[in-house]
Amino acid sequence: MVTTHHPEISGTRAAILDAAETVFAEKGFSGARIDAIAAAAGCNKSLIYQYFGNKLALYEILLAQADREAGELQQRVFAPLLAEPDLATDAEQLRRFLTVAFTAVFDHLLSRPRLLRILMWEMAEGWQTYTQLRIQPDATLDAQLAAVLQRAQQAGVLRHAYHPAIQLSTALQMCQTFLTSLPFYQSLAPEADLTSDSAIAEARAYLVNLIVAGLTADPT
């Protein structure tokens, strides 16, 4: 069993996880091979089985780690809203809050390009592998957010009464899809450099404004 107090073991485990993320991003779960992950990590494939069990278990650890990071981000960005639920009933305050929150979400996803590619593979394959995993969302956080957004719906601040959790998930996937589609968008605007810092900032502002306008009711 892996013991974290041995630097050489924890280093090998980290190298395997890093290599696995690269290979899963390039090939998806179905196309990834343990041999390729071992070669990328510079280790014997027997170590992968020793540390992680099998390919699915390795994949689950990667996605569970990404899910924890996303949960920690959500806790940070939604903390003010959860602490002061009345913010959700004020249209202007909610719009400002959502702008800050989804800007942080966009930047987080921008910093994780390999994770984005893995999620796009999952989308393309109908989330078949993801749904086999034992990854569970933070039920407490989800319930708190749902309660706050329900207050916003009752106050007429949200545009639509559709399931709040799905609304937030759809907004998140808009960020994912936009970032993974940049090479395609570049073909639509070949004269522009869509990957420059200024272009990314402009794209972030555009997308966040689109999300916030879609979630919230029109100002009176």
Residue 158: exposure state from Cβ atoms within 10 A (0-12, 13-18, ≥19)? buried
pLDDT in tens, 68-115: 898 888 888 888 888 888 888 998 989 999 999 999 999 999 999 999
pLDDT in tens, 20-79: 999 999 999 999 999 999 999 999 999 999 999 999 999 999 999 998 898 888 888 888
CA triple 61-47-57, angle to 5 deg: 25
Are the C-beta atoms of residues 155 and 89 closer than 8 Å to each other?
yes
Q: Is 216 helix (H, G, I), strand (E, B) or coil?
A: strand
Name all domains of the chain by residue range, CATH numbers in brackets: 1-53 (1.10.10.60), 66-215 (1.10.357)
**Rounded Cα gap, residues 12 and 38, in angstroms:** 11
**Rounded Cα gap, residues 3 and 142, in angstroms:** 33
Are the C-beta atoms of residues 179 and 110 closer than 8 Å to each other?
yes
**Rounded Cα gap, residues 94 and 152, in angstroms:** 9
Whether the predicted model's global pTM rises above the 0.75 cut: yes
Q: Give DSSP secondary structure letters for 27-51.
A: HHHHH--HHHHHHHHTS-HHHHHHH
